[in-house]
A and B are shown apart, each in its own frame.
Chain A
């Protein structure tokens, strides 16, 4: 029960921070509340926040996927390469998605069935998939995609909302239901808490992990395709380094890096905190290292605050636990 309280208070804290940021932004910039700006605020980081949702599942499950950004790059490069070789765009999109699924299954196989640590396997993936992506595209930039494809990444489809934003919202709802309302979701937590115990109680640990990594690869590929559409052209270095931003969002959301705890609402709040903070700083012309430092400081605080709070509590209670 205490555990649940702590979680609830963490989300409460995020909500308070979010409100503070929004109030500050409203006061500082007349452009902040414009519909266009709010859409841009999501659009500029949309691929990262889509991936943060699936990353949350993986980290709650007690694993990590460092290869997501490289899979994004791989899918985008497969897409661009096939398109340039004359394959019709819809087919190229399907092939790009399949390349992400394949990469995810490959990760999942070594982690779930061979039992290698996900940190090592996906670190290899981070390097390996990026390498393959670069083989496809070399040092070129491939663009000139059909207009309908670029429009998918750049133009609104429902009201002011783009396809990427819709996908994010739908994925958020689906993952919330899976994680907090389904048997599969409970297994994700159980395995994350203690994979050994779960295995002994007959949970199909391998299958759950395999499904998660396959899903991660596929979602990463979708994000890569959306990114290609948003930028209108593809390079081999696309999305390099995104994995760290994605993991940052998830951890700030209150998901434990050791697995077993965290909620999708926390991750959602964390996304809103980071995006609004970035946007506010951008509109106030704070960029570069200053912006990175502020977000870094926020993360350090987010790691320190709960531990500090706990330490203080223990001191006052005379170490009763």
Chain B
């Protein structure tokens, strides 16, 4: 009897262990038409995501070449709908969308789903999650606040100092969420020496952001740091500091892309900033869509899978939306003079 118990316990333990280790694995070599659809063509991050998706394609040995299709910026909504509709007509296996059309994309996506096409969103989800299998999120929005606060602290050091924020537009949902998250994080006593001055808006236009940065410099002579949670603002702000010859006394940080920030990090204007890797985002998105379309992965809460070189991921409920499933990529990559050169080449 005792022996029997032992055996069953061992067997149960084995099953448990196997259950925990049962990450879905991709079956390479499928014959699968896949479409990667960015918000629009012609900006660096989407090209990086494309590169990452191609890397995954090569690894998985998909015999059908990936289609990277996007609208022009001024025709984004109608263009995305048109591309999805045509992909549906062609009966592709999976569509990967960085949604720029809010819920207006839903009817087109539903038509795709009815035809058995898997729909994965990345970078920007479908708000109502209707028709979407899963959203591959780059980072957790709340984490952004902590990352920004930590960078501010590491640049200003123990004695602290005053800082201002140069944001995108006053109604940019992402930036507002990130700034709010940073303000939240700053309540922690370890950031007590950081003093927030004001937020200004450059509307993600280089010229306007440059002027706003200069206005901050003039208005707050004792300002030590500008935080800019937008890749346009951070470059424009860095240029303003450099042009004024102020990089020794005022620094800039925030979210930026390494290739655009290389010079400013090397000359000390922007000693440290953060971003997620769009290459990785494209890679993970392709892995996810491939496994959903080949059936090794089901889009349901708690499903786990191995995404090639990036390791294991779990599908969870999306805490940032009322409904929908999410795969969280994370974490941030922090760039400084030690790693920026390599990252800028991506």
Contacts and interface: CB of A to CB of B under 8 A. Distances in A.
Interface of A: 29, 31, 34, 36-37, 40, 43-44, 139, 141, 143, 150, 153-154, 230-233, 235, 237-238, 240-241, 278-279, 282-283, 285, 287-289, 292
B67 A285 contact: yes
Contacts of B40: 288
A289 B104 contact: no
22 contacts: A31-B89, A31-B90, A31-B91, A34-B89, A40-B85, A40-B86, A40-B89, A139-B171, A143-B103, A150-B107, A231-B106, A232-B104, A232-B106, A233-B104, A235-B104, A237-B77, A278-B82, A283-B90, A287-B41, A288-B72, A288-B79, A292-B75
B182 to A, nearest CB: 22
Contacts of B256: none
B244 interface: no
B29 interface: no
Interface string B52-84: 000000000000000101111011011101110
Given A282-B86, A287-B41, 19 more contacts: A29-B90, A31-B90, A40-B86, A44-B78, A141-B102, A150-B107, A230-B107, A231-B106, A232-B104, A232-B106, A232-B107, A233-B102, A235-B77, A237-B77, A238-B77, A241-B75, A288-B41, A288-B70, A288-B71
B128 interface: yes
A235 B102 contact: yes
Contacts of A43: 85
B102 A287 contact: no
A231 B71 contact: no
Interface residues of B, number: 30
Query: Which of B78, B102, B128 has the most chain A CB atoms inside 10 A of its CB?
Result: B78
A29 to B, nearest CB: 8
Contacts of A232: 103-104, 106-107
Contacts of B160: none
Query: Which of A29, A238, A278, A287 has the most chain B CB atoms inside 10 A of its CB?
Result: A287
A288 B69 contact: yes
- List the 6 closest A-B pairs by CB distance, nearest first: A282-B86, A231-B104, A141-B102, A233-B103, A288-B41, A287-B69
A166 to B, nearest CB: 19
B171 to A, nearest CB: 5
A279 B89 CA distance: 11
A153 B81 CA distance: 14
Contacts of B71: 287-288
Contacts of B127: 141
B295 interface: no
A289 B82 contact: no
Contact of A279 (B69, B86, B128): B86
A150 B103 CA distance: 13
B42 interface: yes
Contact of B74 (A150, A241, A278): A241
B319 to A, nearest CB: 21
A289 B89 contact: no
Interface in B102-118: 102-104, 106-107
A37 B107 contact: no
Contacts of A40: 85-86, 89
Interface in B35-58: 40-42
B270 to A, nearest CB: 30
A141 B103 contact: yes
Nearest to A230: B107
A283 B92 CA distance: 11
Nearest to B75: A241
A289 B86 contact: no
B46 to A, nearest CB: 11
Interface in B95-149: 101-104, 106-107, 127-128
Contacts of B77: 235, 237-238
B90 A287 contact: no
A291 B86 CA distance: 14
B83 A287 contact: yes
Contacts of A31: 89-91
B89 A44 contact: no
A44 B104 contact: no
A43 B75 CA distance: 16
Contact of B85 (A44, A235, A241): A44
Contacts of A238: 77, 104
A154 B41 contact: no
A282 B67 CA distance: 12
Contacts of A241: 74-75
A141 B128 CA distance: 11
A152 B323 CA distance: 27
Contacts of A289: 41-42, 72
Nearest to A285: B67
A284 to B, nearest CB: 9
Contact of B89 (A139, A233, A283): A283
A275 B104 CA distance: 21
A36 B88 CA distance: 10
Contacts of A235: 77, 102, 104
A314 to B, nearest CB: 39
A282 B106 contact: no
B171 A233 contact: no
A44 B103 CA distance: 17
Contacts of B90: 29, 31, 283
